[in-house]
């Protein structure tokens, strides 16, 4: 268990001394996007923005498939396992850095620990799918929130959802030009405050409606036949996995200035304090107020057939907080894509702000955001996207691979509790990931008859 020691060591000093030489050997993506300048507080901001995001507003909806006991149990298990897994992956990163193999990207870890094919053909593509999918989902949800605000003042307005998605994409287009992950630290500090704000709004609004006669009759029964209930459980698990998902722990740790010993743990403590406050308050209050009528976005329950169940200014404020934080979330999840683009088109021997690097950076990032905005406008099915991303991406990246990496790196005794806890987590969540993927695909096939490109949902 000595691997959990957080004291300063000679290896830390060696890591700090070696940093200038390592910087010289970096490609343009790592050199410009993943700058190692941040503190543990900045790390906490990045972690909070990447985990405590508006998909948490889907938690009451997940409870409609699970009920009270299973819903709360899944939340607790998700929080404990991800906090544990993220700490394990941080320890593996620290260990390899001390051994002279500093990994700045998830695919680099997989390449070194599992082999080159795993990094190139599995972890790399899965991470790209997760992160770019999160950008698409954030853009779509931002457009939905803008549309809600519009309909409050223009109930009979003629603007369509895809138009609001394009407007939100314009905001993303501007923010995407921020050069590095580290340059997002102040935006992510504001993001932390905003996620607390809209979570408080969601909780307060739910309690207000639940205590009034305006809300629906409280019914906590799980609807559907046995088959629908079974697949609904795994669909809910995928939603919760997505909500706790991160997928960019190595990239976030790469932004820390050396030595990194113990900094990631402090950042995770900041993040999971916010996670505990927001996730549980929104999930419990939303499900209590609306029961099995909870929508895939709990803020949608504040409107009943266009009639506001809380003051309009309250809905406006809640959606504004959500929109602004969504822009930060989207930009954070653009970073792995930005890093790949910078590595491909950038020149590490030229200055970061030289014309040689700025022009391709602006063009590539702009095309990336335009593509994500186009996909979001064409496929406005946030709930289904959320489930698929959770099943195919976040489950292996955040629940399975960290414990596998730890066991392969530190090789704990097969007689130790630590080894078997990690094996159990890997096996259980691998099985859940496969079943949840089947459930997510099944849900898409059931909803396919309602799908229409550029639908005005």
pLDDT of residue 18: 44
Average pLDDT over residues 321-339: 93
> For all residues of the chain together, what is the average pLDDT?
87
Let me know if domain 25-229+247-380 sits in CATH 1.10.4160.10. Answer: yes
Decide: 47 and 360 in contact? Cβ < 8 Å: no
Scanning 291-416, the segments in alpha helix (DSSP H) are 312-345, 355-378, 382-389, 401-410
- Ranges of each domain in the chain: 25-229+247-380
CB atoms within 10 A of CB 394: 25
User: Tens digit of pLDDT for each residue in 219-260?
Assistant: 898 887 788 888 888 888 888 888 898 889 999 999 998 888
pLDDT at residue 10 in the model? 45
Across 8-17, 80-89, 240-249, least confident range: 8-17
Q: Above pLDDT 70, what percent of the chain?
A: 91
Give Cβ neighbours of residue 54 (< 8 Å, ≥ 6 apart).
Answer: 138, 141, 198, 297, 322, 325, 326, 329
pTM (2 d.p.)? 0.89
Q: What is the pLDDT of residue 17?
A: 45
Question: Residue 92 has what pLDDT?
Answer: 94
Q: What is the pLDDT of residue 24?
A: 52
pLDDT exceeds 70 at position 156: yes
Q: Answer yes or no: is pLDDT of 457 > 90.
A: no
Q: Report the pLDDT value the prediction gives residue 27, as an integer from 0 to 100.
A: 80
CA separation, residue 326 to residues 102, 207, 331 (Å): 31, 24, 9
pLDDT tens per residue across span 286-299:
999 999 999 888 98
* Other Cβ atoms within 10 Å of 118 Cβ, number: 17
* pLDDT score of 448: 67
Predicted pLDDT at 4: 45
Looking at residue 383, what is its pLDDT? 57
- Distance, CA of 76 to CA of 190 (rounded, Å): 27
Q: What is the pLDDT of residue 1?
A: 41
> How many of the other CB atoms lie within 10 Å of CB of 367?
11
Q: Does residue 273 surpass a pLDDT of 80?
A: yes
CA distance 133 to 141: 12
Distance between CA atoms of residues 209 and 269, nearest Å: 33
Of 21-35, 72-86, 89-103, 251-265, the poorest mean pLDDT is in 21-35
Question: Mean pLDDT across the stretch 194-212?
Answer: 94
Q: Is the pLDDT of residue 76 over 70?
A: yes
Q: Name the maximum alpha-carbon separation found in the chain.
A: 68
Q: Which of 28-32, 33-37, 231-235, 362-366 has the highest mean pLDDT?
A: 362-366
For 308, the enclosing helix (H) or strand (E) is strand 307-308
Residue labelled with tokens 């394990």 = 88
Q: What is the pLDDT of residue 7?
A: 44
pLDDT band at residue 85 using 50, 70 and 90 as cut-offs: very high
* pLDDT given at position 290: 93
Q: How far apart are the first and last CA of the chain?
A: 52
Q: Which of 15-24, 421-430, 435-444 has the lowest mean pLDDT?
A: 15-24
């Amino acid at each position: 268990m000595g691997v959990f020691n957080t004291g300063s060591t000679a290896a830390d000093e060696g890591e700090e001394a070696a940093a200038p030489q390592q910087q010289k050997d970096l490609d343009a993506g790592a050199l410009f996007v993943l700058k190692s300048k941040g503190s543990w507080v900045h790390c906490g901001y990045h972690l909070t923005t990447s985990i405590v995001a508006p998909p948490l507003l889907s938690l009451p909806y997940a409870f409609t498939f699970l009920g009270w006991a299973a819903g709360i149990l899944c939340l607790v298990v998700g929080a404990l396992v991800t906090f544990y897994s993220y700490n394990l992956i941080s320890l593996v990163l620290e260990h390899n850095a001390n051994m002279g193999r500093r990994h700045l990207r998830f695919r680099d870890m997989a390449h070194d620990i599992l082999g080159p094919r795993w990094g190139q053909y599995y972890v790399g593509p899965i991470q790209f799918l997760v992160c770019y999918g999160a950008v698409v989902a954030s853009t779509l949800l931002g457009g939905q929130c803008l549309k809600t605000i519009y309909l409050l003042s223009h109930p009979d307005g003629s603007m369509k959802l895809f138009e609001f998605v394009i407007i939100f994409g314009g905001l993303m287009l501007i923010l995407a030009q921020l050069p590095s992950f580290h340059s997002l630290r102040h935006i992510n500090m504001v993001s932390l405050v905003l996620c607390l704000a809209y979570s408080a709004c969601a909780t307060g609004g739910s309690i207000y409606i639940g205590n009034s006669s305006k809300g629906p009759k409280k019914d906590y029964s799980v609807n559907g036949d046995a088959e629908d209930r079974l697949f609904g459980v795994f669909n809910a698990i995928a939603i919760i996995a997505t909500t706790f998902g991160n997928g960019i722990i190595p990239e976030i740790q790469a932004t820390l200035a050396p030595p990194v010993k113990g900094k990631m743990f402090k950042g995770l403590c900041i993040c999971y304090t916010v996670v505990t406050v927001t996730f549980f308050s929104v999930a419990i209050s939303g499900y209590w107020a609306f029961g099995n009528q909870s929508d895939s976005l709990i803020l949608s329950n504040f409107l009943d057939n266009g009639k506001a169940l809380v003051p309009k200014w309250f809905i406006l404020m809640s959606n504004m907080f959500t929109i602004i934080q969504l822009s930060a979330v989207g930009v954070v999840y653009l970073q792995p894509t930005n890093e790949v683009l910078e590595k491909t088109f950038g020149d590490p021997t030229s200055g970061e702000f030289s014309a040689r690097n700025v022009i391709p950076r602006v063009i590539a990032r702009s095309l990336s955001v335009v593509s994500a905005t186009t996909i979001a406008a064409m496929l406005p099915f946030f709930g289904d996207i959320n489930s698929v991303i959770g099943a195919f991406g976040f489950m292996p990246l955040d629940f399975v691979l960290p414990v596998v990496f730890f066991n392969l790196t530190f090789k704990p005794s097969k007689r130790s509790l630590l080894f078997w806890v990690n094996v159990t987590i890997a096996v259980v969540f691998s099985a859940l990931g496969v079943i949840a993927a089947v459930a997510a695909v099944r849900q898409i096939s059931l909803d396919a008859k309602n799908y229409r490109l550029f639908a005005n949902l």
